[in-house]
Amino acid sequence: MATQSNRLPGGGEIDRGKPLTFRFDDKTYTGFQGDTLASALLANNVKLVGRSFKYHRPRGVFSAGPEEPNALVHLRSGDRQEPNTRATMIELYDGLIAESQNRGKSLRNDPQRINNLFKAFLPAGFYYKTFMGPFRNTRLWMFIEGFIRKSAGMGAASGLPDPDHYDQMSRHCEILVIGGGPAGLMAAKSAAANGARVILVDDRADPGGQLRYEQYEIDGKKGLDWINETVAGLEAMDNVFILRRTTAFGYYDHNFIGCVERVCDHLPEPEGNKPRQRVWNLQAGHVVLATGSHEQPMVFGNNDLPGIMLAGAVRTYVNQYGVVPGKRAVVFTSCDDAYRTAIALHDAGTTVVALVDTRKLDSSYAQQLLDRKIRIINDSAIVSAQGNADGVTSVEVHSLSGGGAQRLDCDLVAMSNGWAPALHLFSQSGGKTAWDADRNIFVPGDSKQAECSVGAANGNFSLKTCLEEGSAAGAMAASSTGFNTAVQAVPAVSEIHESAYEPLWECPDPAKGHPKKFVDHQDDVAVSDIQLAYREGYISVEHLKRYTTLGMGTDQGKTSNVPGLAIMAEARGCSIPEAGHTTFRPPYTPVSMGALGGAETGEHYMPIRRTAIDSWHEEQGCKWIDAGIWRRPRYYPQSGETIRDAFIRETGMTRGSVGMCDVTTLGKIDLQGPDTAEFLERIYINHWMKLPVGKARYGMMLREDGIAYDDGVTSRMSENHFVMTTTTANAVKVMANLEFYLQVIWPELRVQVTSVTEQWSAIAVAGPNSRKVIQKIVDIDVSNEAFPFMGASGCVAAGIPGCRLFRISFSGELAFEINVPCDYARYVCEKIYEAGREFDIVPYGTETLGNMRIEKGHVAGPELDGRTTADDLGLGMMMSKKKEFVGKRLAYRDSMTGENRKKFVGFVPADGKTPLKAGAQIVVNENAAPPVEMIGHVTSTGYCVEHDHPIGLGLIRGGLDAWKDRVVYMSYPLRNIIVPMKVVSPVFVDPEGERLHG
């Protein structure tokens, strides 16, 4: 087992009393409680952690936070394997298993590192260009493309079902503080003290931000002690809620913030019943953005070698984790910040070979370095680094004023090109960023939503300003949400006033050679790629991004967008704000699909809507089908039956004797009030005023544009009480529509509508023996004389009072529909089945229901397709000439009438055998060459049991008038099927309607 050779004997926030064992690739290492995977790897002097996207160059840990572009690993194994996790954000636990990505069998001897030798042939736009060259669309190219896809890439998903569960929660507050650094903590403290409900979100195990790795004193105490006190104080308050290990990933409208909490990611597997991750949907009166900033890298030759890291990250590893990532360090900077890294490294015992400063000025920290005998090389830059997969070995330094080249041996480069405020959430909120020319950074401009930025996120990096801005923002936010406005006193801090930052966006080339200067480490985008994009005309930053993939990785360019656009601005000869930056889009860091899905997976993906008779169908052995979210019996197979066998048997037995079907899913709307008949008169195409009590009537509604909308039977239960049925599919829409007409258009109508679909179960009993069965069940006389076709009556059914009976038929047979309060539905269903046993009653499902309506030529969903008019469907006669109704006028438009409309007809295959296909087109000529004129299409197909042949319904131009008894062709070119068929009346059984009325 390797030892932690880079670990300091003391210091840092790790617990040396709690060693943890972990595995990276094929080796086992130890780390300590409090480590991240990255800090533990560095403690064990593991420099090579991955291979780059395109060239498979060796890469090491680059940062210490969410911006990490390089150290992406497969975390865990088996079904818990997670790709592309950032080693800098993974808290170490005992037994952790991680593997490097985008490599061959071995990370060190990755065969694809050969790509690096061909880098001249793999420039920006390489992939696009291959689509256009002489090899495009060739087999050779398709063959090669497979290899390219395989060699360029990231981690792989496990391909196994995720064993863990995820959760979603919502919470509201007056003030949401995002970021638990000094500014955020101060804002939370200030807001909470004024009584507002505060949520503080921080992406680490514990808040503190920079104070966890900087060596400041606050109020005469160590920074860390001040944090612990402040956090403890906040936690003790009832109005404060702290979310740890939580990343705010998206800022949406109305101060809605999406966050993901990594509840159990720091454990081998979730403990107890906890979810692995939880998405928080937070909505706040005011948002304080204390999101901090990201350090920007230097762009010089071979700046991607392992051992070249951000200076702030190096300081973090030394101070927070007690790890020195190298023995001999060169610090390279354009700002004062990195001087503190030099001091931290020196004080930890590392040799700091030199600090290379691009500026001519003397830093405020210069004296501290001189005291430590650290050499400062001003007005100079690293122009290239040398090294191998084991890391950097030396750097070449040039004076920026010319000459003065020198080589410095080192195994660690800590670089800083200043800090860029993390504007992601601000920008997502709709706020516009502004360029601060004095400080050379983009800062938040005008706000669009109720939010403000504080501290480093606002471009103010000094600790004192962070605390002051936090305190003021917290008080202001409290005041703006209706609370007091007291400002918390800002504690005194020890801090040096830093001298100005002077960025150097691109270092000069070395005297010899042009080593690649990487801008986007994750996507292998170098300065030369940006220059190529410029030469080829992709000069807008948005084009630059898409052409070179700059900033398109999982890190979304947190350390590459600013240098990239600055280099493009240089090439264009324009200023940085003129070049602008690309749009910040959610998510800030990657969010797992599992977390977004939450608990809505598997059987919970959609609720199952069951009728009250569901369990009975199950016992009868039905096969189910989804109808929206309802589940309905499709057919009831007997042993060995196919679906076709089953529906033909069910149809035959129903038409031969009696069948029963659960039709609960039809929409049922209760309408009451003195103006109900008038209301129905307006929304249906036919008449309702004179419908007698105790009678049902078929009705059709149109949309405002005159297209057929929905149909169903509506019955008059008493003078002012009607019960409407709608199709299953449109039940919800029709209800909302009726409410719209009553509430918005005709509020003067005294009608109350209530959806009662759930309250009533409905069972259809159909067939020549249905009357005999029903008479055994209900207490009313159901003879043809007493209860003729379209009768509607209250009744007692199987001893259950308050039921309703309708003599309506969808099958064309003598039929009844019985409505039962749903609590008694299963009981009544069983009684009907018992009563029908002597007649061999058969339960039938949607397949038979559909087949019988096709045999009878009733229209349904496939015909009510949003393009047909009532007249097209053969129901034009129903449209009243004597009244106005919804959709009437537009239904009579020229384009909606006339001979060329496609009209409803029936089809029979000419050979009487070949099944028809719904959706197939209808053509006139069997052998016509394309393009073939299509004169209609088949909408529904079934099998006429009585006449023993396949049938179809459909729409054909001109309808029966033009085509009756003529032969047309059903064309299904995808399968090369063409079937001659005869156009017939759509009513295949009992065309006179004798059975209905019998």
Residues at the contact surface with other proteins, assessed by CB under 8 A: 252-254, 256, 281, 283, 430, 448, 682, 704-705, 736, 739-740, 743-745, 747, 884-886, 888-890, 893
Q: By C-beta, is 325 or 431 nearer to other proteins?
A: 431
- Cβ contacts of 479 within 8 Å, gap of 6 or more: 194, 485
Q: By C-beta, is 283 or 368 nearer to other proteins?
A: 283
Q: By C-beta, is 646 or 753 nearer to other proteins?
A: 753
How near is the Cβ of 755 to other proteins at its closest, in Å?
9
How near is the Cβ of 614 to other proteins at its closest, in Å?
24
Give the residue from 478, 127, 150, 436 showing the smallest Cα distance to 288.
478
At 595, which helix (H) or strand (E)?
helix 593-597
How near is the Cβ of 690 to other proteins at its closest, in Å?
19
Q: By C-beta, is 172 or 913 nearer to other proteins?
A: 172
Q: By C-beta, is 870 or 886 nearer to other proteins?
A: 886
How near is the Cβ of 449 to other proteins at its closest, in Å?
9
Angstrom distance (rounded) from CA 734 to CA 742: 12
Amino acid making up residue 962: A
How near is the Cβ of 747 to other proteins at its closest, in Å?
5
How near is the Cβ of 879 to other proteins at its closest, in Å?
14
> DSSP for 94-137?
TTEEEEE-S-SS-STT-GGGGGGGGGGGS-TTHHHHHTTSTTTT
Q: By C-beta, is 21 or 283 nearer to other proteins?
A: 283
How near is the Cβ of 890 to other proteins at its closest, in Å?
5
Q: Taking the C-alpha atoms of 850, 854, 855 and 859 in order, what is their torsion angle to the nearest 10 degrees?
A: 120
Share of the chain residues as helix, strand and coil, in percent rounded to the nearest 5: 25, 30, 45
How near is the Cβ of 894 to other proteins at its closest, in Å?
10
Cβ atoms < 10 Å from Cβ of 450:
16
Residue count of the chain, please give it. Answer: 998
- DSSP annotation of 744 reads I
How near is the Cβ of 812 to other proteins at its closest, in Å?
34
How near is the Cβ of 740 to other proteins at its closest, in Å?
6
8 Å CB contact between 231 and 207 = yes
Instruction: For residue 24, give both structure tokens.
Output: 């990276």
- Cβ contacts of 138 within 8 Å, gap of 6 or more: none
8 Å CB contact between 918 and 941 = yes
Instruction: For residue 148, give both structure tokens.
Output: 């390219």
Cβ-count burial of 537 within 10 angstroms (0-12 exposed, 13-18 middle, 19+ buried)?
exposed
731 to 596, 712, 957: CA distances (angstroms): 30, 10, 30
How near is the Cβ of 887 to other proteins at its closest, in Å?
9
Angstrom distance (rounded) from CA 351 to CA 345: 7
Q: By C-beta, is 140 or 744 nearer to other proteins?
A: 744
- Using N-to-C axis directions, what is the helix angle for 541-548 and 561-572, rounded to 10°? 120
Q: By C-beta, is 744 or 877 nearer to other proteins?
A: 744
Q: By C-beta, is 43 or 671 nearer to other proteins?
A: 671
Burial 903-912 (b: 16+ CB within 10 A, else e): bbbbbbbeee
3-state secondary structure at position 247: strand
8 Å CB contact between 342 and 319 = no
Give the residue from 762, 772, 808 showing the smallest Cα distance to 658.
772
How near is the Cβ of 882 to other proteins at its closest, in Å?
11
Q: By C-beta, is 405 or 599 nearer to other proteins?
A: 599
Q: By C-beta, is 1 or 744 nearer to other proteins?
A: 744
Q: By C-beta, is 160 or 745 nearer to other proteins?
A: 745
Angstrom distance (rounded) from CA 31 to CA 41: 8
Cβ-count burial of 216 within 10 angstroms (0-12 exposed, 13-18 middle, 19+ buried)?
middle
How near is the Cβ of 142 to other proteins at its closest, in Å?
45
Q: By C-beta, is 62 or 885 nearer to other proteins?
A: 885
